[in-house]
Amino acid sequence: MTEKGSNASVLEEVGTIPGQKLPEPGSHERMLAEKALLRKLDMRLLPTIFVIFIMNYIDVRASFTSIVQWLTTVDGISAMQ
């Protein structure tokens, strides 16, 4: 399938072929299209947001650990103090 053909099939699925009017707001077709769009956005964005959240958590924990290690080496403070 060519690049142009694949784009046309994707646009047909979503219903946004250039020149084609969108269904009326509040209509059943419009509500289904909006629901499909939200689901597609959720499936693409949520995994990325989840990974960013996990990486932030790891970074904060690593920063805290490195500060504690630095304090023990510089000031001679033990972990129990």
Q: Which of 68, 47, 66, 69 is nearest to 58 (CA)?
A: 66
Average pLDDT, the chain: 76
Look at the block and give the residue holding tokens 């904060």: 60
Look at the block and give the residue holding tokens 């060519």: 2
Average pLDDT over residues 39-68: 88
Tell whether the model's pLDDT for residue 23 goes beyond 80: no
Tell whether the model's pLDDT for residue 1 goes beyond 60: no
Distance of CA 73 to the CA centre of its chain: 40
The one-letter code for the residue type at 11 is: L
